[in-house]
Structure 1
Amino acid sequence: MSQGKGSGKTSKTFVWILMAMLILGLGGFGVTNLSGTVRSVGTVGEEDISVDDYARALQEELRALEAQTGQSLPFAQAQAFGIDRMVLARLSTTRSLDAENKRLGISIGDENLAQELMNIPSFQGLDGSFDRDAYAFAIDQAGMNESEFEDSVREDTVRSLLQGAVVSGLVMPDVYADTVIEFVAEERDFTWSQLTGDNLTTAVTAPTAAEVETFYNDNQDRFMLPATRQITYAWLSPEMIIDQVDVDEASLQKLYDERDSEFNRPERRLVERLAFADDAAAQAAMEQIAAGTATFTSLVEGRGLSLSDVDLGDVTKAQLGEAGEAVFLAPANGIAGPAPSTLGPSLFRVNGILGAQSTSFDEAKDLLREELAAERSRRLIDTQIGNIDDLLAGGATLEELVEETDMELGILNWHPASEDDLAGYEGFRAVASAVTLDDFPQIEVLEDGGIFALRLEGETPSQPAPLADVAEEAAAAITAERTTEALKGLVETLTPRLNDGTSFTSFGFTANEEVDMDRAAFVPSTPPQFLTEVFEMEVGDLRTLDSPDGLIVVRLNAIKAPATDDPEVTALKAAITAQLSSGISQDVFAAYAQALQTMYPTQINQQALNAVHVNFQ
């Protein structure tokens, strides 16, 4: 059946802009050489997947991937990623839609086709009218004739008609968005208090040694030592040999001179500048500020600018040119001008005064000596790496290495949380975690220019720490548990009065009042699950939660539904509805497309596919 005039124009214009650009971009690809005697890489029902269509789609996908990654991708790697299979699957779906359109008799007439072509900007001349020569040239460069291209436009347009018919009218019911809104935007008012041992009238009893031992034995998983690796290492850092480096006065003076702008900075101002067309306009603006009828900020905003647009940052007097004298005479928060600038007559607001900074050579000498010595130490280490590598290659042990070089020997029980100086280097941690008993030591370079080599001696699995080492920790855990239980007993005795609305402060509790709290809010000094618990409560409910400091008691005072007239809530609801409706449409169309592929099975010509792939090697 034929579709009425103009149908599908809006939905297809953008698609065919892209297609026209692709045609022009593929002009030199040479797809005409792929045709030969084999014209398709497969069939879907009675519809062919042409060699040229497959080549163009594959080239487009590769270019998109290269644009995304910023680098050229070998075709073999693209195949490993499944790019060719993805393209073929997409074309199979497309051709199944074409087969169904033919069965249903859906098509567009010549008039509609002409309108589609004339609306593609790439085929339009400078005056906006259809350029026949540009159209013919682009199609010829792509190795197509006009009939082939126009057939592809027809097919793509009616595909959109079919897809639109399948998914039209699919809108998520309001109840779904309302439910989501109610969940995310509902608010709570509540009162809570952190209770500790100080709230008890009688302190809990301290655990005995026997109780500590029993607790330790029953909870050994709380006192586990991490698995460790016993590592012997040789290490040389720039700091270890810094005393061997001689830094002369002349080198320090040279470095000071090179960094003079860092140590000696002239007086500066934090300045904003608003330029005007002429002196009269600038003077009139200054008079408005003086009269109090305008401010610098209102003048900026009145020009459609923001303060960031007129901010010059910190500038020196010389950088301001002819305006420097006037600006540097103005006080902090004062206005200077009108004064000349590169943009014309301007007003300047001084937001801050930065005094001149001067650091003499004698004052900077120690810092410069430390930096220069460290740099020379790193260079000295670089000169030793070759010799140390030779020693290790010759069979020298780490112990022998430290006798022949400046390196220092050390032993470390290493685990990922180790705080040893060397364990703080990312380079060392990477090697320490991967080394095996069969590996030979080799020189590795650290982030600060130091070097190290290591040897794995053995590994110790995770095990409980000795009781003597964790007895205090175990006793503290027992005391905390007893305190929490005693606090729960206290709250239980007070619950009837708290449920009647008695103030927390009546019992000496600190009352923290929270209002208008949604699920995304954060309440300091509460456990992570605190708000989740609050949102499970009903108005008037009282609940207790364990905390590291004892016990938290909370009472829910009010539940507030989202304000339906709030613009943010309205916008959120619209966004949720649109997103979910789109998701439903995609799911429905995917199911429809899958059913079509069952109706119109795909047959692939592997020889033709291979012939196309050769052109991408």
Structure 2
Amino acid sequence: MADEERRPKKKGNIVVWTILGLLILALGGFGVGQFGGTLSTVAQVGEREVTVQDYANAIRAEQRRLQQQTGQALTIQQMQQFGLDQQVMERLLSLAALEEEARSLGVSVGDAEVAQRIRSNPAFGGISGEFDREGYTFALRQIGLSERRFEQRVRAEAAAELLQAAVIGGLAVPEAHTDAIVDWLAETRDVTFAEVGRGTLDGISRAPTEEALAAFFTENAAAFEIPETRSLTYVWVTPTLILDEVEVPEAAIVARYEELGEEFRQPERVLAERLIFRDRAAADAAVAAIESGETDFDALVEERGLTLVDVDMGDVARDDLDAQVADALFGLEEPGLAGPVETSLGPALFRVNAILDATEVPLDEVRDDIRANLARDAARRQIDAAREEIDDLLAGGATLEELAQETDMELGTVALRPGASGGIVDYEAFREAALAAEEGDFPELLDLSDGGLFALRLDAVEPPRTPELDEVRVRVEQAWRDDDDARRLAEAAEALAARIEAGASFEEVGLAPETLDGIARDGVVEGLPRALLTDVFEAEQGDVIARRGNPRTAYVLRVDAVNTPDPADARTAELIAAVEQQIRAQMANDLYGAFAEAVRADIGFTVDQQAVQAVQSQLFGAGGQ
């Protein structure tokens, strides 16, 4: 048995792990098999042992935590791949080191504290929620611990918490540090800005010379690259393609209409709310108070600590209710109160908010929809019935062209490249198969999401290429004009900004300004580029900024005021408290993590890799998903 000296690779979140350790021991092991045999421990820190059951429980707890966060259950192998099993071991070693340090310092808690912690643990609560002595014994048996052993663990963990409090109890967050962060987060700006439009350029885009166009194309060749193009031949059939060929008898339409009768026929219904009372006297008193004007239904609901959502019954038909309740609710000629009525839950007062008449949709109004649905179902069955024949033809060496001649499948070709759409290209299954296909592959019959079938053949692959200028001349000319317009607008905006910074007003330089006050650092201003707002918070008060927008717009903006947060403002006070709490938690984690790491290094520890592997093997073999 080889013991290996180990050192932590990461600082664990010791504060969180101290709390999590209790849950692991109290809850983590339920459903975990016992680990017997000659192996009893996976690690030792000083005199503190980490048992195989401790490690198994911790692994299981980590699996459940990850499943709750991600919705996926990781296997032991996946945990190993991501190093999660190592993280679990690091946490156990850190916790053991702190418990051992507390023991060596003589830090401990009394029996009363241990008893209180055990009694307050929800894992040991009975049906009433109170501590269940038999449940306590059973729970410990399930995780392979004796009462004595478990109570020792609780005492050790409580002592480690005392040690934690001593280490981090005196932490103070520097006020200057908090103020600097809050000032940065809550600072706002007041600005004046204006849009510089194409009117500045006389509204006319310039035409490029041949030399300028060629140079622009060379500099921006990547923007005009033709991506890989896959030329494909395919055959396909879908319910929609053969829908018109499907005959649907009138009798089938009528039968489906009757089958779906509840969708087309609605009985009389009411929208109602129900308030239950403890006895008939209380219900009668409530009705009397409503009739006298002392209260109303809404107030009664609120007095009971309920909301209207809690008492809402939705829309109900007579058949949904007991006969006595139905008579009371459907006996009303208009919305109002009904009751008290005796129910299985006690006397109840009902409020009917609306009476909905019975409705019926005639067959003629839905005949076309029913026929279309029946035809689509029949088309799917027809396609499914033809699957074997098509497969046999492909297996016999039939080409896609021959399939189109001998079956209902249609032949087509497509040049597939990024951004292509329409027809069969809109099906994800086709795109995936087309991208995976290689020249010379034998066509395979595959499914489409709507019940259709297809097969394809890759005819050629044209790799990405830079086209000749003449192939994309129109696109290049438009891109050149857009770039030229945007560049000239930016130059005009910069010239105007320089005049404003020199003392001219926005109006004097021919701009129509707008003002915005209190722009937040993470704010969004409709119509202004996000990059311009970023510049605003890098500028000082009085700075004037020019920013290129799109080919039709540029902007000039002046920072009128830099507003620091008011410490007396309630929102600022909340932010200060939140920042202080976060900084304190980070400092506590770092300090306590460093302390735990130093303690572990001083005490020394060993990890039995053979025992670790045995636990992981048993968990995996037992379906440790």
| 1:247 maps to 2:248 | yes
For residue 484 of structure 1, report the CA deviation from its aligned partner. Answer: 3.2
1:594 aligns with 2:592: no
Offset of 1:235 from its aligned partner?
Answer: 1.2
1:137-156 superposed matches below 5 A: 144-145=145-146, 147-156=148-157
| 1:566-581 matched pairs, under 5 angstroms | 566-581=569-584
- Give the secondary structure class of the aligned counterpart of 1:463: coil
Give the counterpart letter for 2:348 in structure 1: G
Residue 502 of structure 1 and its aligned partner are, at CA, apart by 6.5
CA contact (8 A) 1:51 1:608 kept: yes
- The aligned runs of 1:180-329 (5 Å cut-off) are 180-201=181-202, 203-208=204-209, 211-265=212-266, 278=283, 281-282=286-287, 284-285=289-290, 288=293, 304-309=305-310, 313=314, 321-322=326-327, 329=334
1: distance between equivalents of 2:223 and 2:142? 73
**1:564 aligned onto 2:563:** no
Residue 173 of structure 1 pairs with residue 171 of structure 2: no
Query: Higher mean Cα deviation, 235-244 or 507-516?
Result: 507-516
Aligned-residue offset at 1:368? 2.0
Residue 115 of structure 1 pairs with residue 118 of structure 2? no
Tell me if structure 2 keeps the 8 A contact 1:230–1:457.
Answer: yes
Per mean C-alpha deviation after superposition, the further-off stretch among 117-126 and 599-608 is 117-126
One-letter amino acid of the structure 2 residue matched with residue 255 of structure 1 = R
| Alpha-carbon RMSD | 4.2
Per mean C-alpha deviation after superposition, the further-off stretch among 190-199 and 603-612 is 603-612
Shift of 1:248: 0.9
State how far apart, in whole Å, the 2-side matches of 1:106 and 1:227 are.
72
Letter in 1 for 2:414: L
Partner of 1:372: 374
Residue 423 of structure 2: which of 418, 421, 424 is its match? 421
- Distance in 1 between residues matched to 2:507 and 2:316, nearest whole Å: 56
Displacement of 1:466 in angstroms is 5.0
Instruction: State the distance in 2 between where 1:63 and 1:547 align.
Output: 50
- 1:269–1:328 contact (8 Å) kept in structure 2: no
Query: What CA distance in whole angstroms lies between the structure 1 residues aligned with 2:234 and 2:446?
Result: 11
Per-residue CA shift, 1:264-289, capped at 9, x if unaligned? Answer: 5578777777788546644654775x
Which has the higher mean CA deviation after the structures are superposed, 423-432 or 305-314? 305-314
Query: In the aligned structure 2, how far is the partner of 1:125 from the partner of 1:239?
Result: 60
- 1: CA distance between counterparts of 2:261 and 2:493? 68
Which residue number corresponds to residue 344 of structure 1? 348
Shift of 1:523: 1.7
Unpaired stretches in structure 1, ≥5 consecutive residues = 1-10, 331-335
- % identical aligned pairs: 35
Letter matched to residue 525 of structure 1: G
- The answer to whether the 8 Å contact 2:496/2:556 transfers is no
| The one of 475, 478, 492 aligned to 1:476 | 478
Tell me the amino acid that sits aligned with residue 223 of structure 2: R
Q: Is the 8 A contact 2:28 2:58 kept in 1?
A: no
Structure 2 residue runs of 5 or longer lacking an equivalent are: 1-16
Does the CA-based 8 Å contact 1:564-1:570 persist in structure 2? yes
Q: Which residue matches 1:523? A: 525
Change (3 A) 1:601 1:437: farther
Separation (CA, whole Å) in 2 of partners of 1:496 and 1:242: 69
* More moved, 245-254 vs 72-81: 72-81
Letter in 2 for 1:188: R
Separation (CA, whole Å) in 1 of partners of 2:302 and 2:488: 62
Determine the C-alpha separation between the residues in 1 that align with 2:332 and 2:470.
71
TM-score (norm 2): 0.79
Give the drift of 1:406: 1.4
Note closer, same or farther for the CA distance 1:76–1:476 as it changes in structure 2 (3 Å cut): closer
Alpha-carbon distance in 2 for matches of 1:77, 1:454: 37
Counterparts of 1:531-546 in structure 2, within 5 Å, are: 531-546=533-548
What letter corresponds to residue 177 of structure 2 in structure 1?
Y
Q: Report the CA distance between 1:14 and its aligned residue.
A: 9.4
Tell me, yes or no, if structure 1 residue 401 matches structure 2 residue 399.
Answer: no
User: Compared with structure 1, are the counterparts of its residues 450 and 466 closer, same or farther at alpha carbon in structure 2 (3 Å cutoff)?
Assistant: farther
Partner SS for 2:541: coil
Change (3 A) 1:258 1:226: same
Farther off after superposition, 320-329 or 254-263? 320-329
Aligned to 2:13: none
Which whole-Å CA distance do the structure 2 matches of 1:58 and 1:18 have between them? 9
Q: Offset at 1:236?
A: 1.1
